[in-house]
Structure 1
Amino acid sequence: MPFDIKALKEGKKLARKGWNGKGIFIELQVPDAHSKMTHPYFFIDTTGLQTDNVDAPKSRVPWLPSQTDLLSEDWEVVG
């Protein structure tokens, strides 16, 4: 399926089938009254990454989609 901003706004998580490694997804963060951010933003979560690479980062960081990501048809809702 194509990139689904509506699903993200509904609180769902998205991942691409073509990404290396399982357990990676993106989510939309909507700031609350205690946040330093003032607008919603995407972040990528690799904390559940399943890999044999012990040096692979397992973190949550802001994420900006590339044109390739936005136009890809291999997105899926994962949560």
Structure 2
Amino acid sequence: MADFSSALAGVKAGAKISRDGWNAPGQWVVLQQGYPNGIPINANTAAATGIPEGTVCRFRPYLMLHTADGSFVPWAPSVTDVLADDWYGLVPSDLMAGVTDWSVYGYCTPCGATAGQPCRYITGDGSPAEQPGTERPAAHFYRERKLS
């Protein structure tokens, strides 16, 4: 587990981060790099801002929360989040093939495999282990106990 400063350093380096204190499973935070050179705004943004659709606007980086229902929302930490010491990183299950030192990993989300157990969606060689009729989750990660 880590404090928020370690989690923030991790997210700035490209990690997905989460915390034990959140009450809904499947929530995690990433850094959206923004669009420093600008992108054409879509109809929703045009309607909200009154700026004509297609106008090129710059967007600054921001933290983005993946919610329990699978949607995304811009995110700012609460005081509780900033002071918490229960932050952890998430490692994509595709990168876990061949891991032998499980001391830094906790359980897999969402399949629930614990440290040292194989993810039910990934075989030892990294290939999918899906069974007929089973969909592989879009966001499938092992918890990393330490953020370095």
Query: Which residue is 2:140 aligned to?
Result: none
TM-score (ref. length: structure 2):
0.43
Cα distance in structure 2, aligned partners of 1:58 and 1:30: 20
CA gap 1:29/1:37 in 2 versus in 1, 3 angstroms: farther
Which sections of structure 1, spanning at least 5 residues, go unmatched?
A: 50-56
After superposition, residues 26-65 of structure 1 pair within 5 angstroms as 26-32=29-35, 33=37, 34=39, 36-46=57-67, 49=68, 57-65=69-77
Query: Which residue is 2:94 aligned to?
Result: none
Query: Which residue is 1:72 aligned to?
Result: 84
Which sections of structure 2, spanning at least 5 residues, go unmatched?
A: 41-56, 92-148
Q: Provide the aligned length of Structure 1 versus Structure 2.
A: 70
The CA RMSD measured in Å over matched residues stands at: 1.8
- Hey, which of these two has a bigger chunk of strand by percent? 2
- Hey, which of these two has a bigger chunk of helix by percent? 2
Cα distance in structure 1, aligned partners of 2:73 and 2:12: 18
Choose 1 or 2 for highest CA Rg: 2
By relative contact order (CA 8 Å, sep 6+), the higher-ranking structure is 1
CA gap 1:41/1:72 in 2 versus in 1, 3 angstroms: same
CA gap 1:7/1:71 in 2 versus in 1, 3 angstroms: same
Cα distance in structure 2, aligned partners of 1:26 and 1:44: 5
TM-score (ref. length: structure 1):
0.75
